Structure 1
Amino acid sequence: MSDVLLETSDQIATLTLNRPAKRNALTDEMVDEFLDALESVARSDARVVIVTGAGKGFCAGFDLSLAGVEAEGDETAFWMGRQEKFATLVTRLRAIPQPTVAAVNGAAAGAGLGLALACDTRIGCETAGFSSAFIRVGMSSCDIGVSYLLPRAIGTTRAFEMMLTGRMVDAAEAERIGLTLRSVASDALMPEAETLARAIAENGQMGTWMTKRGMWANLEAGSLQAAIELENRTQILMRSTGSLAERARARGFAKPD
């Protein structure tokens, strides 16, 4: 069976990391499968993507059993290529038109933390945990976007503490500090994620895409004025689709003709 499963139902795609015996630790082949699945989703009519893990873990990060495997050819070039490919998980999740929801069903450590942060929002179950674990094994916590995404999610003070200690943040703390939207019982995790996905999918596809793109773009905006300029142009673009009046009437915000 594939290490990455893709299922779509009612325009909601679910991507499941599927190495439960290894807490869904990532291999090179698994990253390739995940990227292929994202390409498939991006071209599909899916409106929202849920990312989760099989078994008791969301993603334990890079499979450390691969750390001692000798590379063919130049070792530094090999590891740089691997590092860049793993980081593509983050940029590709951000780039696809569909909003993404991480349903964190267990530990999200190292690259698993980066994967969860790359999703547009996160829901955790009671056994979820978050750790910037690489610093505990002689590496840097600055890995696959974590140093950019984590402080934007929870602020620099908490992000520095997490990244410098590598400690595990449990589900209750994650909800309190804004790392997750909310924490629910384990058996309620996927229903809760699906409910959120359906609420997103009810809105217009183009407007949802533009909201995702605009939000990410304005997280990098140099000023409020720059952010507003992008918003203004986006709204005029959306007005030109002709769906404003139609949707306003359909939802009871405007009188029928």
Structure 2
Amino acid sequence: MTQTLVVERPVPGVAVLRLDRPRQLNAIDEVMVGELGRACTELGADADVRAVVLTGAGRGFCSGIDMRAFGPGMLEASAPAIDRLRFQEAMAALPQALRAMPQPVIAAVNGPCVGAGLALCLAADIRICSAAASFGNAAILLGLSGAEMGMSYHLPRIVGTSVAADWMLTGRMVSAAEADRRGLVSEVVEPEALEQRALELATGIAGLAPLGVQLTKRALQVNTDAPGFSQAVELENRNQVLTHATDDAAARRATWS
């Protein structure tokens, strides 16, 4: 049982991981930090789960850290630096846990996606959103660095350095239309169609060969930082050799003959 999350299995092979604090626009509190980390680990280890949809309950995706009621773990600025570092590391572990899942993660952004919520969104493999979604870095508006929870890594690679600098240095909110235009999301749909579209994508992926899917995800992650074309091709070559020898691949090839 969880207090801040709902995990659903709507179709075989697909898990929906729903942030469930709708009255707070799914802001992250201390309980959610622990529950979300554990859920990523548990779903990642479940061989029956082949794709994951991450979304929010109610009208928000995730409005960031709950500044009003995070819990007793929230530290004052006067706390020792080492304790504040541990707090930040615990928050940064959340997008790391999402990124480390072997299954592809589809972020279905249904509303405001701000701060830590944006970090979670960026850690997903595929991002789609409703026309009602909006995105913001926001930390800089609180006097903090806009670079946190992996955002200075992910965002420039997704939208380019100049656009990332604009969003992170101003903290301004970005509409679904601008997010689509800049390549942050691959698709914008009407709010009532968002979850069904995410499930369609996830179901399609879940129907593919698991090893091929997982090695594709890893190659995309690793080769984003590849030092050159040759190194990227080396990894791709090895992945193809590994997947070619599987029974799953043989069965699928047979249907094409």
State TM-score, norm by structure 2.
Answer: 0.93
Runs of 4+ with >4 A deviation: 66-71
SS of alignment partner, residue 68 of structure 2: helix
Paired residue for 2:43? 41
Say if 1:28 and 1:82, in contact at 8 Å, map to a contact too.
no
Shift of 1:70: 4.8
SS of alignment partner, residue 16 of structure 1: strand
Paired residue for 2:22? 20
SS of alignment partner, residue 9 of structure 2: strand
Paired residue for 1:198? 203
Give the AA of the match of 1:89. L
Match of 1:217 among 213, 222, 240: 222
The 2-side partners of 1:22 and 1:243 are apart by 44
Q: Which consecutive residues of structure 1, in runs of 5 or more, have no partner in the other structure?
A: none
> How many residues of Structure 1 are paired with residues of Structure 2 in the alignment?
252
Match of 1:90 among 80, 91, 95: 95
- Going from structure 1 to structure 2, the CA distance change for 1:193 and 1:70 (only over 3 Å counts) comes to closer
Q: Which consecutive residues of structure 2, in runs of 5 or more, have no partner in the other structure?
A: none
The 1-side partners of 2:149 and 2:33 are apart by 13
The 2-side partners of 1:168 and 1:247 are apart by 45
Deviation by residue 1:177-215 (Cα, 9 ceiling, x = unmatched): 111111111110000100111111121011101101111
Shift of 1:29: 1.6
Give the AA of the match of 2:20. N
Q: Does 1:56 align with 2:75?
A: no
Paired residue for 1:232? 237
The 2-side partners of 1:6 and 1:188 are apart by 20
Q: Does 1:153 align with 2:158?
A: yes
Percent identity over the alignment is 41
State TM-score, norm by structure 1.
Answer: 0.93
Deviation by residue 1:72-113 (Cα, 9 ceiling, x = unmatched): x95322221111111111111111111000000111111111
Paired residue for 2:213? 208
Match of 1:171 among 165, 176, 182: 176
Residues 175-184 or 76-85, more deviating = 76-85
The 2-side partners of 1:154 and 1:216 are apart by 16
